[in-house]
Chain A
Amino acid sequence: MQPGALSRNLKNGAIWAFIVLELIFFTVAGEYLSLSEKNFMDADNMLLLLKQSAPIGIIAMGMTVVMINGNIDLSVGATFALAAIVLLDSMTWPFMQAMGVGAIPLAWLFALAAGTALGALNGLIVWKTGVDAFIVTLGAMLGYRGLVFMYNGEQPTSHLNWTLVDFAEAQFLGLHTATWFLLLVTAVMWFVMNRTVHGRNAYAIGDNRAAAVNAGIRVGPHMMINFMIVGFLAALSAVVFYSESGSVNPNDGELYELWVITAVVLGGTKLTGGAGSIVSTFGGVLAIQLLRKGLSHIGADTETVNLVIGLILIAVLILDRQLNIKGREALRT
């Protein structure tokens, strides 16, 4: 075995081991503590869990890419809300209403285009001004939220389209529509990051930007594409979610950026860039959702979820650091 391989395997498997641990814990604890008759590992419960993971999960796939690239996007929550408003509001426009069912794909297209455009704007600013992505997207988080409010004031935007609701609530092969989207996005992003030139370059830029530049990689366009991906996915997440709920408040999606980043970091992606994997992020998303569901299953207050997730995030960070030190020692000897 190569030096460091053990710690690497440990780290890659850690999130899945954690998920198994959660499943065992909540199943056993649920036997004693849960008020409901149902088992935690009940099939319906698990299917619902996957569906509920979708909104955060879909965005997390995009965030993984941006973070591997060495950037970060704090504006995804606001982009999510803005895309939702575009989706619901555009269906009430006169020419769209005249189109009947044909308006649905067009509304989806508008929403996705809006999200992609907001992502592109972030990417363009980061590229052309050279301002740190953290600051650019921190500003955008405020700015895009402002745009959300300007669209419809403090009023919720609502439009229920029953065809759309039926589509969103449908189950194909037992899985909900939202789950299918999550799986599809995971598969596509895995392909992009592992089997395309763009993915390889994204890793290279995140790992060592100067070296990437010397190797002739055009850093700017790659960064911009990644911001467009996360914008697109934030919009896709909104499109899937609000097709079903049909009503969006201007505050919706607040703090999503924090949940998404937590899921990505739990999955082992480095904030400094260059390392991370789509599949592990999928694990991180599941782990968080399991924790939420599990804690409420054993009757813990919903308040404790925040406490537990925060502490787990820090614990993971400490563990990760210890493993890294071990890995370096293994290299040295």
Chain B
Amino acid sequence: MEATGARRIGQSLAKQGILIAFALFMIGFTIANQRFLDPDNVMGVMRSSAILGVMALGVTFVVISGNLDLSVGSMMSFSTIVVLDLHDRIGPELAIPAMFLMTLGLGAFIGILVGYLRLNSLIVTLGMLSAIHGLTLTYSGGQNMDIDDKAGTWFSVFGRDEALGVPMPILIFALLAAVLGMALAKTPFGRKVYAVGGNGTAATFSGIRRARVVLSCYLISAFCVATAGLIQASRSLGSQNTVGQGLELEVLAAVILGGASLLGGSGTIFKTVIGVLILGFIQNGLLLVGLEFYVQYVVTWVIIILAVWLDVAAKRGRLWSSIA
């Protein structure tokens, strides 16, 4: 009995492991540097995590439905470049919806390939990573994109302004997280996403239109990417073609840290937000204690593997794998 009791405690510990690790990190960094929990610092971390976070929200849907999205980084570059270019051509009022439509179009393309044609999402989005990058470069001619009249445009509200004392990127992130979190946890659609990711065949037999659910997930992801591109463009008012390069893997790291399984069927928006914050605070904490930015890469590596290891170990009830 005691052994099972200990195991149960171990399992529930492992389930909440990511929260515990987060708490330990916060305590450690606060002891190491008093400025860490300073409201300004916390706000700064959250603001700089917002873009990554918004993208991670959409990828959470895709991952729960049992697929991957490696194209979000180049897609974010695309939407940033497009909205900046269109801003000067047709004005921000039209540029923003136009950019959202174009990004959603890309998402729909991926969704149709993965959902309706049943192609492997890893390769499709790998191909799209490359293709959208090429599309962006062709669109911009390889040039950086800048808004001409930086002082005279209201376009900067999404990235630079504050409302109720909170920076807009954080507000957008929080709002989107709340809406998508509700959609995933409380609506029939959300349950379908879990069902499709958990067991696609069973979901199909119980009358769920799997392809449509997958397509919806990629559309949500594209919408989030477009929002992230909007924040990025609005904050910088000028951008390189490679602004989102490499973000796809950081986003995925955040989602995995949050405990979503790559096999699909598990994960929540709340946990993804925690994953995003952990990455953000680690980065910031390491910088504050005077370590170079690249130390966070190594720390992230260790944390990802430990977090996922604890997760799978809790599920199988043993620490070490049974692979011979």
Contacts and interface: CB of A to CB of B under 8 A. Distances in A.
Interface string B287-309: 00000101111111110110011
Contacts of A138: 249, 252-253, 256, 304
Interface stretch (A96-104, A121-129, A190-198): A121-129
Contacts of B292: 149-150, 153
Contact of B256 (A135, A149, A305): A135
B246 to A, nearest CB: 7
Nearest to A205: B323
A314 B119 contact: yes
A135 B323 contact: no
A304 B294 contact: no
Contacts of B246: 254
B223 to A, nearest CB: 22
Interface in B13-69: none
Contact of A261 (B126, B245, B302): B126
Interface string A128-150: 11111011101111111111011
Interface stretch (A16-24, A34-42, A156-164, A212-220): A212-220
Contact of A314 (B127, B134, B263, B305): B127
A134 B134 contact: no
Interface in A241-285: 250, 254-255, 258, 261-262, 265, 271
B4 interface: no
Nearest to A140: B301
A216 B298 CA distance: 37
Contacts of A301: 137-138, 142
Interface string A282-315: 0000000000000000000101111111111110
Interface in B105-144: 113, 117-120, 122-124, 126-135, 137-138, 142
A143 B300 contact: yes
Contact of A303 (B119, B138, B297): B138
A211 interface: no
Interface string B150-170: 000000000000000000000
B315 to A, nearest CB: 10
B142 A146 contact: no
A310 B295 contact: no
Grouping DSSP codes into helix (H, G, I), strand (E, B) and loop, the A interface class, with mixed when no group exceeds half, is helix
Contact of A135 (B123, B124, B308): B308
B132 A310 contact: yes
A153 B127 CA distance: 32
Nearest to B263: A132
B130 A131 contact: no
Contacts of B191: none
A318 interface: yes
Most chain B CB neighbours (cut-off 10 Å) among A142, A219, A309: A142
A321 interface: yes
B320 interface: yes
Given A142-B300, A145-B294, A220-B323, A258 B129 contact: yes
B119 A318 contact: yes
A188 interface: no
A101 to B, nearest CB: 34
Contacts of A153: 292
Given A213-B324, A265-B123, A139 B129 contact: no
Given A136-B305, A139-B253, A142-B300, A258 B134 contact: no
A306 B134 contact: yes
A313 B130 contact: yes
A150 B299 CA distance: 12
B321 interface: yes
A73 to B, nearest CB: 13
Given A310-B128, A313-B130, A139 B304 contact: yes
11 contacts: A132-B263, A138-B256, A143-B302, A146-B298, A146-B300, A147-B298, A306-B131, A306-B137, A307-B134, A310-B129, A321-B118
Given A130-B316, A145-B297, 10 more contacts: A129-B309, A130-B323, A135-B262, A135-B304, A142-B301, A149-B292, A304-B134, A311-B127, A314-B124, A317-B123
